[in-house]
Amino acid sequence: MRPSGRQPDQPREVTLTRGFTRHAEGSVLVSFGDTQVLCNASVEAGVPRWLRGKNQGWVTAEYGMLPRATHTRGGREAARGKQGGRTLEIQRLIGRSLRAAVDLKKLGEFTITVDCDVLQADGGTRTASITGACVALIEALQYMQRKKMIKTDPFRQLVSSISVGVYKGTPVLDLDYPEDSAADTDMNVVMTEDGKLIEVQGTAEAEAFSRAELNNMLDLAESGCQALFAKQHEALGIRR
Amino acid sequence: MRPSGRQPDQPREVTLTRGFTRHAEGSVLVSFGDTQVLCNASVEAGVPRWLRGKNQGWVTAEYGMLPRATHTRGGREAARGKQGGRTLEIQRLIGRSLRAAVDLKKLGEFTITVDCDVLQADGGTRTASITGACVALIEALQYMQRKKMIKTDPFRQLVSSISVGVYKGTPVLDLDYPEDSAADTDMNVVMTEDGKLIEVQGTAEAEAFSRAELNNMLDLAESGCQALFAKQHEALGIRR
Amino acid sequence: MRPSGRQPDQPREVTLTRGFTRHAEGSVLVSFGDTQVLCNASVEAGVPRWLRGKNQGWVTAEYGMLPRATHTRGGREAARGKQGGRTLEIQRLIGRSLRAAVDLKKLGEFTITVDCDVLQADGGTRTASITGACVALIEALQYMQRKKMIKTDPFRQLVSSISVGVYKGTPVLDLDYPEDSAADTDMNVVMTEDGKLIEVQGTAEAEAFSRAELNNMLDLAESGCQALFAKQHEALGIRR
Amino acid sequence: MRPSGRQPDQPREVTLTRGFTRHAEGSVLVSFGDTQVLCNASVEAGVPRWLRGKNQGWVTAEYGMLPRATHTRGGREAARGKQGGRTLEIQRLIGRSLRAAVDLKKLGEFTITVDCDVLQADGGTRTASITGACVALIEALQYMQRKKMIKTDPFRQLVSSISVGVYKGTPVLDLDYPEDSAADTDMNVVMTEDGKLIEVQGTAEAEAFSRAELNNMLDLAESGCQALFAKQHEALGIRR
Amino acid sequence: MRPSGRQPDQPREVTLTRGFTRHAEGSVLVSFGDTQVLCNASVEAGVPRWLRGKNQGWVTAEYGMLPRATHTRGGREAARGKQGGRTLEIQRLIGRSLRAAVDLKKLGEFTITVDCDVLQADGGTRTASITGACVALIEALQYMQRKKMIKTDPFRQLVSSISVGVYKGTPVLDLDYPEDSAADTDMNVVMTEDGKLIEVQGTAEAEAFSRAELNNMLDLAESGCQALFAKQHEALGIRR
Amino acid sequence: MRPSGRQPDQPREVTLTRGFTRHAEGSVLVSFGDTQVLCNASVEAGVPRWLRGKNQGWVTAEYGMLPRATHTRGGREAARGKQGGRTLEIQRLIGRSLRAAVDLKKLGEFTITVDCDVLQADGGTRTASITGACVALIEALQYMQRKKMIKTDPFRQLVSSISVGVYKGTPVLDLDYPEDSAADTDMNVVMTEDGKLIEVQGTAEAEAFSRAELNNMLDLAESGCQALFAKQHEALGIRR
């Protein structure tokens, strides 16, 4: 029934490739099927002006899509002279999600910026970004500990994210582009390992959805996120 | 327990003042307590380029905040030369919500833009905007019918919106600014009259939230939206 | 003869509603007939860079028009990414006029910004803005004295402003939009209570005007400003 | 008493050099003392969108200042990414003034843009611009007649412009920079040959001015503009 | 002597990976050592406005660098709101170079845009971009032929590009970042297979260079480009 | 054969008029035939942020073209809101070339900005700019010495620049606009008095060029630059 032939509760193949580029303190190429996002975490001394002197750090994200990541070429935001509303909305979501993974008080006056640049898009770029960026962020924290920039580990908990939706009346997990563009409802969920919620963003694209459908979708998301946590642990080499 | 002395399930006083300005085809001043938003709906011939020739109309929204709507003065976005991420995110949400209220096929090649300008802010500006903008939109549809611009009524269903959150561990309805800035979780819900969901946007500001808390919040939102539908009906003079 | 049926020397109904919003240190809704402008004065510590260390304060203004303040919707300047020439010209005029009302030396290193946002436009938005903003400015100065932010009163003199023009060959006072768009000459005058001039900006829209016509217009403006000073005193509760 | 040693009613030396550059349809270098402005008039087919099909032409102006036209270097507006309020205000004034010189109905669907670029500034750049631009505009109209682009002459009347002010209590004509920056009042006047007014823009920089002072300044401006008309006629080789 | 231990005439390892992404009509990941650039060619119907109706096509390029492609994070141009001078200069160079590879007359009214996005930078990003973009461009031309969008092959000749410089007094080929930032002279050369020049851009960073040094550098560039042509042929599977 | 009737190795008439404007520390009007560029050097205390505390100065350039410097009017970059790629590319070239003329270590913490504004264009604006700007720069250095702002003379060597190209198969010197727009190859060369190269930027506009053609062009450029050095010496009154 799904264009890809997947079962409703079947996510796409996920890979998390560490060390994809050399310069960043954390660098992960994440793929959710044909969606590929390069997540580079950069550590910089200092915090934004409004945080100065508060004895804490900051974690933020920027998001971009290469012009031909998509089926037809999209304009380059740098050439147009501004980031679109969708871009700003996504990078705010990624930043909030990552801050749930870290104790900013233990980070010291450093800023970690995770750049999520979509090399190839096939639906779910924001959920792939959060999932990959979390690993790049942890790599950067490990770098800071090795370099003695911080004394205690600011890591609090893994976060991962996956999309769910109602496609032709059936709740499905991890929508690809053909599903995403035809779904009745599209929801992005960000979770912690103990099954709690960091973000829930559900949108009725065509038909309003019921509380029952919402619950079905959240059940799917929970199982999907658990699989992503396993992938993150594997990539990080942390015994679960 | 709440700073305002309200009960957890008690919304603020809501007013919907029609005809607040003269020129717009629909004009509503909505207040949720001290939050006041002027919602003006404008009807214009034509649709955006990507919809031309598809024999349908378009409904969109723009959102702004007067510089001194807030406790301390914020910079004027026109002077800064761009709309911020928060502004773009909110106006996209309002636009999507309003499109759920209308059958675009019946609208003809017209665009209705609802400008939501916050005159005074005390939390919940996006939920007040959606609730008031829906009434202004219906006024504009009624204007189009009176002027014979359309033959059939494109109105599908009312939408209303309210915020819920977890404040000091308790789920509460319709957060004002002091609650909003201290809440563990903040969620905006957009609903239809039959209790279905158009949008759910929940964010863990401090602590992740459980499925149980989510359900409690959605119960509160449902009762809050029902009260708003009553207010909308009253303002529109539609017998329920 | 005038579209509104007014006599040539008859201004529109003027109201000055204090305390229109809660957060600003001075807040006045001014109406000249159907023209309505919200004037919010904000007090902030500090002065612009080029005034630092000169032991004086600064008074400035910003002007904006809600997109549907006008008969047909105008684009939102924040969305277009810049303020238009007309906007910049008007806010410079308001700022200069307000500075004539205040002794900046007595203001200390504070900046008062008066935001003039047009909720509804029917001609004369800049003259209404100046007249209302002057009252909001004085409210802000009173606030500063109550809060002991300043020791002496920086208030020097009231300023008010009204438009005059030549409409179908006759000098008329306080043009509304139908007159303004058809007038041969349009002039904005800013005055002090003793009948002196702060600004005179006269433009021949169609036919050049003579010195005699200029003098007739200035006579009208003087009577109009005197009526506005009475309104300002009444609003401020100052015995004249 | 004046820094330059001039009499109160004595303007600066004025020159109008035609044909200063080769490509423009009209090109005049105007100098008012040390103020030098290059005025280039360009004829282009077509009119702005809002005038299309109305069977008339358009005349407009753009104004700029070379970064080091002034005593200390000012930032380049192109590098800053926007034109300042002062620039926009001045170019709107020049454009309105030039439109008084021409019957747009006789111009056909052509646009004449007069670029006024200040090579060196010493006060009075806007008045010099208007005076020189008027000559460049007439050159361009003559070009159009020679090229048979128009059949009848759209020229209506010369316009010229000069500044007046109150400097140390005395009304003076044609202020240079040292006077301008210290004047109590500064007024720019645009006139027609028969002594009528196109624009009057007077600003009390320090002290409000009386109707009597206004009249003295206008008398001075009238004599100054008459001298400028003589210069314009001389430059154009038109017998007066 | 070279930081990398390479011989003066020894280029870095070069790879050209075709089909790196799925959506683009041509997609090549090019690496010159640690410099990695993703070159995606997009075919779109239509040409820029100034070419319409001239019965020819257009080839252009855009260039960007991911924020953390470099040793320290650079600001995102989309967030800053404009492309820097270096970016614009490079993308103009790439575009000109690619147009030398194609007969625009045979391309029909199509535009091919090659996006060159630097994933990782270590010197020579513009030369790698040109070399990889040429292969992506040819892939796109092959796609157009398969899809019968064009009848004849617009391909004229391969172009490749390499940098040369004077490092510590010695002419060297294909500078990496440590060499580039310390070189006396830096020159980028774009060549055709028959050894002719498309572009020569040499800059004395520290000391002026002599004609003899220029000739030595050009000799090196010629040998370097020949090696690149071999790599391009190999990637394209064209028998040489 | 050349449109102007010049011999292949014959440059245009060159003039360097010092003191063209009054305020700048160095001011030169340079003309290469009908190309006229005003070069104003401004001395300002301080250096860009990234040079602070390094005990050296900075020399930079900005370039602009008056809208009607060209045959048809070009848009004003300040009005468009950004400098084009060509402008940025040229001003980077001028800046690099000027820095070769000066020992920045001896300049102290001062910045010299040379504004090159094209009053009239007929090809070769960048080469005329460099040649004229070098003289304005030296004037500014002389000013600094007279004012005791620096103790030792930072001047290292003159730089001059000229264009060469292949026009209808023949190498020619100093292309004017008709040649430039029809040339096969266009090359800009910046040289020092001892015949060394600062910049070489050659572009094949139509046909690739051979090493032999490159050498012929460089020979021409060398003779052209020598003539320019003589003009610079003459303008500066330096005995050669």
Task: Render pLDDT for A102-143 as a digit per residue (tens, 0 to 9).
Answer: 999 999 999 999 999 999 999 999 999 999 999 999 999 999
pLDDT above 50 (res D240): no
CB-CB under 8 Å, F78 with D83: yes
Task: Please give the Cα distance from A111 to A79 (Å, whole number).
Answer: 27
Cβ pair C77, C84 in contact under 8 A:
yes
Are the beta carbons of C85 and D82 separated by less than 8 Å? no
Task: Enumerate chain E positions whose Cβ falls within 8 A of a Cβ in A.
Answer: 21-24, 27, 34, 36, 38, 40, 42, 44, 62, 64, 66-73, 76-83, 87, 113, 115, 117, 119-121
Q: What is the pLDDT of residue D206?
A: 81
- Are the C-beta atoms of F179 and F5 separated by less than 8 Å? no
- Inter-chain CB proximity B119 and C23 less than 8 Å: no
How high does pLDDT run on average in chain E?
A: 96
pLDDT of residue E12: 98
D88-109 burial code (b ≥16 CB/10 A, e <16): bbbbbbbbbbbbbbbebebbbe
Mutate to test the interface with A, among E68, E86, E120 (most CBs of A within 10 A): E68
β partners of residue D191: D160, D197
Q: Are C184 and C137 in contact (CB under 8 A)?
A: no
CB C32 within 8 A of CB C14: yes
- Looking up tokens 């079947």 gives A10
What CA–CA distance (Å, rounded) separates F14 from F235?
11
DSSP B27: E
Nearest to F42 among D24, D44, D68 (CB): D68
Strand, helix or coil at B63? strand
Is there a contact between C40 and B70 if contact means CB atoms under 8 Å apart?
no
Phi, psi (rounded to 5 degrees) for E115: -90, 125
> Is pLDDT of B1 > 90?
no
Which residue of D62, D72, D80 is in closest CB contact with F76? D62
List residues of B whose CB lies inside 8 A of any C CB.
Answer: 21-24, 27, 34, 36, 38, 40, 42, 44, 62, 64, 66-73, 76-83, 87, 113, 115, 117, 119-121
Three-state secondary-structure class, residue C63:
strand
Distance CA D205, CA D184 (A): 5
In this predicted structure, the answer to whether residue C231 has a pLDDT above a threshold of 60 is yes
Query: DSSP readout, chain E?
Result: --TT---TTPPPPEEEEET-SSSSSEEEEEEETTEEEEEEEEEEES--GGGTTSS--EEEEEEEE-TTSSSSPPPPHHHHTS--HHHHHHHHHHHHHHHTTB-GGGG-SEEEEEEEEEEE-SS-HHHHHHHHHHHHHHHHHHHHHHTTS-SS--B---EEEEEEEEETTEEEES--HHHHTT-SEEEEEEEETTS-EEEEEEEESSS-B-HHHHHHHHHHHHHHHHHHHHHHHHHHT---
Q: According to the annotation, is D126 in a ligand binding site? A: yes
Residue of chain B minimizing CA distance to A195: B210
How much is the average pLDDT of E137-163?
A: 96
pLDDT of residue B76: 96
Please report the domains of chain D, with CATH numbers, ordered by start residue.
14-236 (3.30.230.70)
- DSSP code, position A9: T
Q: Which residues are within 8 A (CB) of C64 and not within 5 positions of it... i.e. 6 or more apart? A: B66, B76, B78, C77, C87, C115, C116, C117, C118
Write the single-letter amino acid at A15: T
**Which residues in C lie closer than 8 A to residue D197 (C-beta atoms)?**
202, 204, 208-211, 214
Alpha-carbon distance values, D87 to A202, C97, D66, D91, D175 (Å): 48, 20, 12, 6, 19
Specify which residues E157 forms β-bridges with.
none
Provide DSSP, E114-173. EEEEEEE-SS-HHHHHHHHHHHHHHHHHHHHHHTTS-SS--B---EEEEEEEEETTEEEE
Q: How many CB pairs under 8 A join A and B?
A: 86
Burial E86-106 (b: 16+ CB within 10 A, else e): ebbbbbbbbbbbbbbbbebeb
The distance from CA B79 to its chain's CA centroid, rounded to whole angstroms, is 26
Contact B134, B88 (CB under 8 A): no
**Cα gap A196→A219, rounded to integer Å:** 12
Strand-pair category, E58-65 with E110-120:
parallel
Q: For position E239, what pLDDT does the model report?
A: 55
| Residue E114 phi, psi (nearest 5) | -105, 115
- Would you list the DSSP string of C126-146? HHHHHHHHHHHHHHHHHHHHH
Which chains share 3+ C-beta pairs under 8 angstroms with D?
A: C, F
C-alpha E90: how far from its chain's center? 9
A203 with B96: Cβ contact below 8 A:
yes
Quick check: E82 pLDDT over 60?
yes
Residue C118 CA to its chain's centroid (Å)? 11
E-assigned strands of F48-109? 58-65
Residue A240 has a pLDDT of 46
Pick from C62, C87, C89, C185 the residue to mutate for testing the D interface (most D CBs within 10 Å). C89
What distances in angstroms separate CA B177 from CA B135, B203, C89, C230, one per listed residue? 24, 16, 36, 39
**Cross-chain Cβ contact B199/A202 below 8 Å:** yes
Residue D239 has what pLDDT?
Answer: 54
Nearest to E201 among F195, F201, F218 (CB): F201
Find, among F137, F61, E129, the residue nearest to D67 by Cα.
Answer: F61
DSSP D32-60: ETTEEEEEEEEEEES--GGGTTSS--EEE
ipTM of this predicted complex?
A: 0.95
- Predicted pLDDT of residue D20: 95
Task: Report the alpha-carbon distance of residue A118 to residue C204 in Å, rounded.
Answer: 57
Report the C-alpha gap between B47 and C112 in whole angstroms. Answer: 42
Q: Of B76, B163, B177, B64, whose CA–CA distance to B118 is shortest?
A: B64
The encoded tokens of residue B240 equal 């329920």
Q: How far is CA D125 from CA C102, D3, F118, in A?
A: 30, 18, 20
CB contact under 8 A, E96 and F209: no
Question: What confidence tier does D146 reach under pLDDT thresholds 50, 70, 90?
Answer: very high
Whether the Cβ atoms of residue E64 and residue E77 lie closer than 8 Å to each other: yes
Give pLDDT < 70 ranges for chain A: 238-240
Report helix, strand and coil shares of chain F as percent, to nearest 5: 30, 30, 35
Burial classification of residue A238, based on how many CB atoms lie within 10 Å of its CB (0-12 exposed, 13-18 middle, 19 or more buried): exposed
The β-bridge relationship of strands D14-18 and C197-204 is unpaired
- The response to whether B86 counts as a known ligand-binding position is yes
Neighbours of A221 (CB within 10 A): 27
Looking at residue D107, what DSSP letter applies? G
Q: Is the pLDDT of residue E240 over 60?
A: no
Neighbours of D142 (CB within 10 A): 15
Residue C240 predicted with pLDDT over 70:
no
Q: List all residues 6 or more positions away from D192 whose beta carbon is below 8 Å from its beta carbon.
A: C208, D100, D157, D158, D159, D198
Report, as ranges of residue numbers, the positions in chain F whose pLDDT lies below 70: 238-240
Do residues D154 and D57 touch, judged by C-beta distance below 8 A?
Answer: yes
F-chain CB neighbours of D73 within 8 Å are 42, 44, 113, 115
Q: What does pLDDT average to over chain B? A: 96
D125 is in an annotated binding site: yes
Nearest-angstrom CA–CA distance, B57 and B109: 5
D99 known ligand binder: no
- The whole-angstrom separation of Cα B19 and Cα B39 is 10
Phi-psi domain of F148 (left: phi exceeds 0; alpha: psi -120 through 50; beta: other):
left
Residue C239, pLDDT score: 54
What distance in Å separates the CA atoms of residue B10 and residue B172, rounded to the nearest whole number? 8
Instruction: Report the alpha-carbon distance of residue B150 to residue B125 in Å, rounded.
Output: 32
CB contact under 8 A, A38 and E66: yes
Amino acid at A108: G
Nearest to C221 by CA among C240, C194, C182, C195: C195
Cβ–Cβ gap A201/B198 under 8 Å: no
What pLDDT is recorded for position F106? 97
Q: Which residues have C-beta within 8 Å of that of residue D182, sequence separation ≥ 6?
A: D167, D168
Tens digit of each residue's pLDDT (9 = 90 or more) over E54-73: 999 999 999 999 999 999 99
The residue type found at A130 is: I
Q: Chain F interface, mutation test: which of D73, D82, D88, D116, most F Cβ atoms within 10 Å?
A: D73
Q: For the segment B200-227, what is each residue's pLDDT rounded down to a tens digit?
A: 999 998 889 999 999 999 999 999 999 9
List the structure tokens of A120: 């190839």
Gyration radius of chain B's alpha carbons: 18
Chains sharing 3 or more CB pairs under 8 A with chain C: B, D
Q: Which two tokens stand for residue C99?
A: 């500075």
Helix (H, G, I), strand (E, B) or coil at A228: helix
Please give the pLDDT value at position F239: 54
Name chain F contacts of D44, Cβ cutoff 8 Å.
72-73
The gap between the terminal CA atoms of chain D, to the nearest Å, is: 35
Report the Cα C74 to chain-centroid distance in Å.
22
Q: What are phi and psi of C134, to 5 degrees?
A: -65, -40
**For B208, which of A100, A209, A211 is closest by C-beta distance?**
A100
